[in-house]
Structure 1
Amino acid sequence: MGPPLPVTPPPVPAPRATDLTPRDWLEAGQSLLRRGGLRALKLRPLADELRVSTGSFYHHFTDFDAYQGRLATYFAEQQIGDMVAAIRRSESEPVARIRLLAQIVRRRGMSRLSIAMRAWAESDPRARASVERHDEIVLGFLTDCLETVGFSHHDAMVRGYALISLGLSKIHAPELDPETLMEDMIRILCIPA
């Protein structure tokens, strides 16, 4: 008798339209934006991302324009607002809060999403309002953390702005270690001398 045949795991069943929530569709839209920008955000690729028919989209949204409006709002209000609130609840030390935000942003690929949202904001006032709200929330969070460690309000805002800008930049600097770069920036910008 020969060796046992490998057992093939059963295929993962595709979700049913009734199993999906509006949030699933919003997360899928963000995934498309992250990978391909606004030009990738279309109904067929969105349904393919969730492995459902395009018809199931209409269980949650009246039309694609309404969906885009919800997607724009979701970026700032539910997503970043909830994330900042969770960080405030889970970490009390201000520089540790900033580190945690940086880790979450990096792990979730939020810089790429933010860049895509900013490009979208050039042509859609809903996206522009969401990006502005996002920046208000994040800059407020960073400013609050930096004031707590001893920076003046103005210096805290400038340093927070620098952190956001650096997080969105795509500068080629092979001599800097990307694994330690964020910690180096936090040390320079967030810890008073």
Structure 2
Amino acid sequence: MTKGATGSRRLSVDDWIDAGFTLLAEAGIEALKLDRLCGHLGVTKGSFYWHFADMTAYRTALARAWAELRDHDRSGFGELSGLPPRERLATMMATLRAERQRALERAMREWARTDPAVADSVRAADHTVVAAVRTAFQDAGFDPDEADMRAHATFAAGIGFLHLSDAPAGARLAAQQERFLDVMLAR
């Protein structure tokens, strides 16, 4: 049994994954050190090795878990098809600017710069988002080529919003994104 940050229960793989997400979101990939993870959870290294062979296995599990989390979060994008295109785009942007999602997304993109497997996962996520955004622009009446260009521009701007905003998403950022949608949906 473990004591400390987790109470008096055994840690699960999910506890270790959640700790990794927290450290990634707070401090980036450099924070994923065994001592720091154990300190965060208030446990010994033996607890870590009960679940993972080594840090490589842990990082692989963490990247896989993020892919599953990301796929779950983005799976709802397809369910938005009944909404008007502008509302659909605003909802997608709001989903991606949620505080933990935003911080974790940035950290995963940084990690992807040095890890090909994580890069593949990020690219797959990006493809899903761009496809949903393209569909919204087509549903707004833009021809396929114009919808594709606007989808990529919107996606690129969204990544910019993600990386340029260190403060929690507030009214100012939401207003800027709304104004951005006005521009992108204008004819």
Aligned residues: 176
Q: What is aligned with 1:7?
A: none
Deviation string, structure 1 residues 114-168 (Cα, Å, up to 9, x no partner): 3322222222111111111121121122112222222222322222222222222
Q: Is the CA contact (8 Å cut-off) linking 1:43 and 1:54 kept in structure 2? A: yes
Q: What is aligned with 2:168?
A: none
- Asked which structure has the greater CA Rg, the reply is 1
Q: Is the CA contact (8 Å cut-off) linking 1:47 and 1:54 kept in structure 2? A: yes
Q: What is aligned with 2:45?
A: 54
The code of the aligned residue for 2:82 comes to S
Deviation string, structure 1 residues 70-111 (Cα, Å, up to 9, x no partner): 2223333x1221112134336721432322222222223433
Assess, with a 3 A threshold, how the Cα gap between structure 1 residues 66 and 13 changes in structure 2: closer, same or farther: closer
From 22, 41, 66, give the equivalent of 1:75: 66
Could you tell me the TM-score, scaled by structure 1's length? 0.75
Root-mean-square deviation (CA, aligned residues, Å) is 2.7
Assess, with a 3 A threshold, how the Cα gap between structure 1 residues 168 and 67 changes in structure 2: closer, same or farther: same
Q: Is the CA contact (8 Å cut-off) linking 1:143 and 1:160 kept in structure 2? A: yes
Higher helix share: 2
Structure 2: gaps (5+ residues): 166-170
Q: Percent identity between the aligned chains? A: 28
Q: What is aligned with 1:116?
A: 107
Q: Secondary structure at the match of 2:98?
A: helix
Q: Does 1:154 align with 2:145?
A: yes
Structure 1: gaps (5+ residues): 1-11
Could you tell me the TM-score, scaled by structure 2's length? 0.77
